[in-house]
Structure 1
Amino acid sequence: MSEFTITPVAGQVPAAGNGQNARDALNAALRAALRHPRFEVLPLVGTAELVEQHLSHSIPVTVTASPRQGLEPTLVVTEALARLGFPAVPHVAARLIVDESHLVEVLHRLDEAGVRDVFVVGGDGDRPVGCFRDALTLLTAIQRLRNCGVGASLEQVGITGYPEGHPLVSDRELIESLAAKQSLATYAVTQMCFDATAVSRWVSRVRRDGITLPVYVGVAGKIDRRRLMRISARIGLGDSARFLRKHRHGWTRLLLPGIYNPDRLVRELGADLARPSRGVAGLHVYTLGAVAATEQWRRQALVRLGDDGLR
Structure 2
Amino acid sequence: MRNKASTAQTMVRLLEHSRYEVLPTATTEDKVLAHVPRDVTVTVTASPSKGLEATLDLAERLTGHGYAVVPHLAARMVSGRAELTEIVARLTGKGITRVFVPGGDADPAGDYPDALSLLEDLAALGHPFAQVGITGYPESHPTIHDDLTVQSMWDKRRYATHIVSNLTFDPAVIRDWVRRLRNRGVTMPLLLGIPGPVERTKLLAMATKIGVGESTRFLAKHKGTFARLAAPGGFTGERFLEKCAPALGEPGALVEGLHVFTFNQIAETEAWRQDLLGRLRR
TM-score by length of 2: 0.90
2-structure distance, mates of 1:271, 1:169: 28
1-structure distance, mates of 2:138, 2:151: 14
1:116 corresponds to which residue? 97
2-structure distance, mates of 1:269, 1:203: 11
Give aligned-pair identity as a percent: 37
Match of 1:172 among 132, 139, 147: 147
1:16 corresponds to which residue? none
Q: Does 2:62 match 1:81?
A: yes
2-structure distance, mates of 1:305, 1:233: 27
Q: Structure 2: which 5+ residue stretches go unaligned?
A: 208-213
- Residues 54-80 of structure 1, C-alpha deviation per residue, up to 9 Å, x if partnerless? 011111110000011111100011001
Cα 1:172–1:239 shift into 2, 3 Å: farther
Cα 1:276–1:61 shift into 2, 3 Å: farther
1:59 corresponds to which residue? 40
Q: Say whether the 8 Å CA contact 2:41–2:67 is kept in structure 1.
A: yes
2-structure distance, mates of 1:30, 1:233: 22
1:161 corresponds to which residue? 136
Q: Structure 1: which 5+ residue stretches go unaligned?
A: 1-9, 11-19
1:49 corresponds to which residue? 30
Match of 1:139 among 119, 142, 161: 119
Query: Displacement, 1:23?
Result: 3.4
RMSD (Å) for aligned C-alpha atoms = 2.3
2-structure distance, mates of 1:258, 1:69: 36
Query: Displacement, 1:170?
Result: 3.1
Q: Does 2:28 match 1:28?
A: no
- State the secondary structure of the residue aligned to 2:163: strand
1-structure distance, mates of 2:113, 2:63: 29
Q: Say whether the 8 Å CA contact 1:220–1:287 is kept in structure 2.
A: yes
User: After the TM superposition, which segments of 4 or more aligned residues of structure 1 sit over 6 Å from their partners?
Assistant: 257-260
1:98 corresponds to which residue? 79
1:288 corresponds to which residue? 263
Cα 1:52–1:167 shift into 2, 3 Å: farther
Match of 1:255 among 226, 230, 234: 230
Cα 1:236–1:167 shift into 2, 3 Å: farther
Q: Return the letter of the residue paired with 1:62.
A: T
Q: Say whether the 8 Å CA contact 1:222–1:260 is kept in structure 2.
A: no
Q: Does 2:243 match 1:268?
A: yes
Cα 1:205–1:50 shift into 2, 3 Å: same
Query: Displacement, 1:239?
Result: 5.0
Q: Say whether the 8 Å CA contact 2:42–2:68 is kept in structure 1.
A: yes
Q: Say whether the 8 Å CA contact 2:191–2:258 is kept in structure 1.
A: yes
Match of 1:185 among 155, 160, 163: 160
1-structure distance, mates of 2:53, 2:143: 28
2:50 corresponds to which residue? 69
2:217 corresponds to which residue? 235
TM-score by length of 1: 0.82
1-structure distance, mates of 2:29, 2:216: 25
